Amino acid sequence: MELLDSYLKAVRRYLPRGQRNDIVAELSEDLRAQLEARERELGRPLTDAEQMAIFQRQGDPMVVALRYRQKGPSLTIGWELIGPELFPAYLILLGVNLTITVAVILIFQLLAHGPFTVQVFLLPLLTRIVCVTLVFVVLNALKGVFRRRFSESWMWPPADLAHLMPLPRWYSALGFAACGLFTLWWLSIPHFPRMLLGSAAPELKFTAEWHRYYVPILLVLLIGTGQRAVNVVRPDWNWLLPMARFVADGAGAIVMFFFRTHALIAPAGDAAQQHLAQVVNGRLVWGLFGPWLWIYLGITSLVYGWYCLPYIRRMIHRRRERSYLAHELKGLI
């Protein structure tokens, strides 16, 4: 039962180390009994979808693990910021983010022949800590709402089970709205520079490097917007999310890394505006288009690449099966 093993592995991640084996053994026995009872009831082996229905009734692996935990650690400063239900996932995701961030910085600095200084690592790492913490603080505040309205949705389902879970339409719709607005904003910048440069727009102009990267960035945004639009209509095409995001975010990480290494803004007139151009350019390459952006895209690309692997394995397996059947039929004919 490969799906059962994947589910148990996901629950195991959130369990206390000293009790993992005993708890997983108990949960495994219970789930196997449910699966076997359902098979006897139907008189045949269960399909993947029927097994998944049982796992969904059992619950999100993170929530299931919490049932077996005593009151666990949390992040509390006067009031509870991240409760014990989410804290194990917070630690796991934060650790993965920081590890990948360091690895990505090392790779890109080597490729760009850049210096290895404390500043190169400090700002991206602090940014990741703040971003991940804020996300979990918001999730902790809204967990009651999500539990009531989206009780069947799992937070980060195991990669081997994700293909059995249609994407919630609300998730794709929110992503489409956010990505669509950002795409429209990007399209408006050449016609309305004030959308980016504010009141300084009359005194500044975009450099040739800006124009060189404009279309590649637009294509990345269109891929993300298109994927979300398609999944609003076809939530069962859950393979499209990891495939499109792996390509778009991976390409976006590479483009944004090199994009911010150039001067993006130049004076529109005399040299007196040079200082203004330098200030605005600094705000762009260290703020809006700062290292946090390409690191975020690099991390999400790797995560979605991991989610792509089960789809690729199944595709290869189906091709081999078709090839084998065609070979057998040819032999019979």
State pLDDT tens for residues 76-91.
655 667 777 677 778 7
Q: What are 82's two structure tokens?
A: 């991240």
Q: Say which range, 249-253, 294-298, 324-328, has the weakest mean pLDDT.
A: 324-328
CB 53 within 8 A of CB 127: no
Q: Say which range, 48-52, 218-222, 247-251, 316-320, has the weakest mean pLDDT.
A: 316-320
What are the residue ranges spanned by the domains of the chain? Answer: 2-67, 71-133, 162-318
| Confidence band for 151, pLDDT divided at 50, 70 and 90 | very low
State the pLDDT at residue 192.
Answer: 92
State the pLDDT at residue 214.
Answer: 94
State the pLDDT at residue 254.
Answer: 92
State the pLDDT at residue 76.
Answer: 63
Would the pLDDT of 289 be above 50?
yes
Would the pLDDT of 102 be above 90?
no
Burial 65-84 (b: 16+ CB within 10 A, else e): bbebbeeeeebeeeeebbbe
* Per-residue CA distances from 6 to 10, 24, 273, 287 (Å): 6, 12, 60, 40
What mean pLDDT is reported for the chain?
A: 82
| Confidence band for 149, pLDDT divided at 50, 70 and 90 | very low
| Confidence band for 150, pLDDT divided at 50, 70 and 90 | very low
pTM, full prediction:
0.70
Cα maximum dimension of the chain: 84
Residues 6+ apart with CB under 8 A from 80: 74, 140
* 3-14 tens-digit pLDDT: 888 888 888 887
State the pLDDT at residue 148.
Answer: 46
Q: Say which range, 100-114, 161-175, 278-292, 310-324, has the weakest mean pLDDT.
A: 100-114
